[in-house]
Amino acid sequence: MMPLIFAQIHLLLRYDPKTTWLLRASLIPFVMLLSLRSAYAYYYMVDGEGQLDGRCQSVNVTLGCAAIVAIIRSLEFGLATQRPRLKTREVANNGNRTSTNNGREKDDSTLVASTDPLPTFFPGTNCPLELDLLLNVRALGWQHGIKDDAPALPALVFDSRQRWDWILKRAVLIPFYYLVYDVVLVLNQEPRFNPNADSKVGGSIWIHREGSFGVAGPYLNCLAFGTSFVCIQYMLHTMLASISVALFHDLPSRWNPPIMRYPWLSTSVAHFWSRRWHQTLRVTFMTVGYWPVRAALLGVAGRRIANIAGICGVFLVSGIIHDLGSAAITPGFGITKVTLFFAIQPVAMFGEQMFERCTRRKVHGFWGWLWAVAWILGTAPLLIEVGFYRRRSEKNENFTDQMNANLYFSSEQAYSMGGMMASIQYEGITRRPVRFLLDCWDQSINGV
């Protein structure tokens, strides 16, 4: 489906969008069919006879989410009536610029739209604009992308030393993230931390209360899952950026800001979601969740209500996409607690705005950090403990009784219950020290 989306982008950029609208729109059904088939018609497996016990849950979930994102991007480029615009920095009135580190320019200028015609390549690179829009999912350097990225024009200039300094600055943290990732994987294969460690298909996080950490066990499991996601995202993004900058002479500014910006330093829930957490799918969520909802309500309900509804739409779409992705673990789909987790996040964000309006004090600092940690970690079980219950039937007679004699758990649409962490088989370099620390904990706290 990627060539079809590439064709949509090419028609949008190089021809009159109004004359190519019908042709671009006609490609959307083909992208949808190919995307859904590639994600749900075939499931990757390492071993086992089914998707759930095939030890490839993470790959299948990723492909499921990617399929939905591809469809949304096809809708974005297929139905657009105006071509995207590069972000441009206007020269200040005095015509002066002050150079700063990494080729950035600091001045009092404002960002304006670039003028037609669009260049063949992304400014300062040998990457065609079509390929950049296809792969640059955060739309860095484009007006519709994330807010705090560098403008595309005028093209920034980096010498060899600046490039390698940038690479080393980012790569120096990879060993740290790798060690943390290693510790998390080792912990998740320790029955004292994860009682579901011996199960390829996982199990409820609430069983973790039977482990060495008692009532804190389920929340530590959520924290471990989130930490592993942060680590793998940072390492993959940094390695891709380093290869691109070093071998293909790409601009470091096209990889800034980092994909993860120390989310554990968030001082509010809004700060967590808007700046610290990854913005990979921001444009995707805005395309179907914010812009259309806001446009529909702007003339009817006013700007404030339209903005509130748009923000709620973004998080609702996020939850549905995650649910569709998790449906790739096993056949079937249902709206689960994953969507609920994302749907209630605006409640905290609007609460922070109300607090600031009533007290004229912004949510920040230590207490803001404590609040953000409590909210995210407190609601995290909705995201990790996913699934639904259904009554007993001939097709599920062998399911484990989770609730009572009449209700049985379905492992469909599940992260913990789908065994995303338990399915990983890994011999970590930190296994001995982790086991030693667990022994110390059991001896001093649990008296074992």
Which tens digits make up the pLDDT trace of 31-78?
Answer: 999 998 888 877 777 666 555 666 677 777 888 888 999 999 999 999
pLDDT(106) > 60: no
Lowest model confidence (mean pLDDT) among 81-95, 137-151, 233-247, 258-272: 81-95
pLDDT(424) > 50: yes
**Rounded mean pLDDT of 7-31?**
95
> For residues 353 and 365, what is the distance between their CA atoms, to the nearest angstrom?
16
Predicted confidence at residue 116, as pLDDT, reads 58
pLDDT(420) > 70: no
Chain centroid to CA 79: 24
pLDDT greater at residue 423 or residue 57? 57
Predicted confidence at residue 195, as pLDDT, reads 81
| DSSP track, 18-45 | HHHHHHHHHTHHHHHHHHHHHHHS----
> For residues 289 and 339, what is the distance between their CA atoms, to the nearest angstrom?
14
Predicted confidence at residue 104, as pLDDT, reads 44
Q: Find out whether 38 and 107 touch, Cβ atoms under 8 Å.
A: no
pLDDT(87) > 80: yes
pLDDT greater at residue 105 or residue 6? 6
Q: Find out whether 21 and 81 touch, Cβ atoms under 8 Å.
A: yes
* Residue 215 CB coordination number (10 Å): 9
Predicted confidence at residue 330, as pLDDT, reads 63
* Residue 105 CB coordination number (10 Å): 16
Q: Find out whether 70 and 35 touch, Cβ atoms under 8 Å.
A: yes
**Rounded mean pLDDT of 416-434?**
71
Torsion angle of the four alpha carbons 43, 44, 47, 48, in this order, in degrees rounded to the nearest 10: -10
Lowest model confidence (mean pLDDT) among 12-21, 46-55, 320-329, 423-432: 46-55
Who's near 91: CB < 8 A, 6+ residues apart?
97, 107, 109
**Rounded mean pLDDT of 260-265?**
94
pLDDT band at 255 (very low <50, low <70, confident <90, very high): very high
Question: By three-state DSSP, how is residue 261 classified?
Answer: coil
Taken in order 3, 6, 12, 16, is the CA torsion positive or negative? Answer: negative
> For residues 206 and 215, what is the distance between their CA atoms, to the nearest angstrom?
8
What value does the CA radius of gyration of the chain take, rounded to a whole number of Å? 24
* Residue 341 CB coordination number (10 Å): 22
pLDDT(170) > 90: yes
Residue 168 to residues 158, 180, 243, Cα–Cα distance (Å): 15, 20, 12
Predicted confidence at residue 301, as pLDDT, reads 87
Predicted confidence at residue 277, as pLDDT, reads 94
Which tens digits make up the pLDDT trace of 311-362?
Answer: 999 999 999 888 888 777 765 666 778 889 999 999 999 999 999 999 999 9
Lowest model confidence (mean pLDDT) among 98-102, 177-181, 243-247, 348-352: 98-102
Predicted confidence at residue 109, as pLDDT, reads 39
Who's near 184: CB < 8 A, 6+ residues apart?
224, 227, 228, 231
Whole-number average pLDDT of the chain = 82
Three-point CA angle 321, 253, 227, nearest 5°: 45
pLDDT(189) > 60: yes
pLDDT(80) > 90: yes
Query: Amino acid letter at 29?
Result: P
pLDDT greater at residue 5 or residue 405? 5
**Rounded mean pLDDT of 170-187?**
94
**Rounded mean pLDDT of 227-245?**
94
**Rounded mean pLDDT of 111-132?**
79
How many CA atoms lie less than 13 Å away from 285 in the CB half-sphere?
Answer: 24
pLDDT band at 263 (very low <50, low <70, confident <90, very high): very high
Chain centroid to CA 246: 26
Predicted confidence at residue 236, as pLDDT, reads 94
* Buried residues in 158-168 as b, exposed as e (16+ CB within 10 A): beeeebeebbe
Q: What are 280's two structure tokens?
A: 């990979």
Who's near 144: CB < 8 A, 6+ residues apart?
84, 85, 283, 286
Which tens digits make up the pLDDT trace of 371-392?
Answer: 999 999 999 988 887 543 333 3
> For residues 198 and 399, what is the distance between their CA atoms, to the nearest angstrom?
18
pLDDT(238) > 90: yes
Lowest model confidence (mean pLDDT) among 38-47, 299-308, 396-405: 396-405
Lowest model confidence (mean pLDDT) among 48-62, 73-87, 129-143, 155-169: 48-62
Chain centroid to CA 362: 27
Looking at the chain, the whole-number percentage of residues with pLDDT higher than 70 is: 80
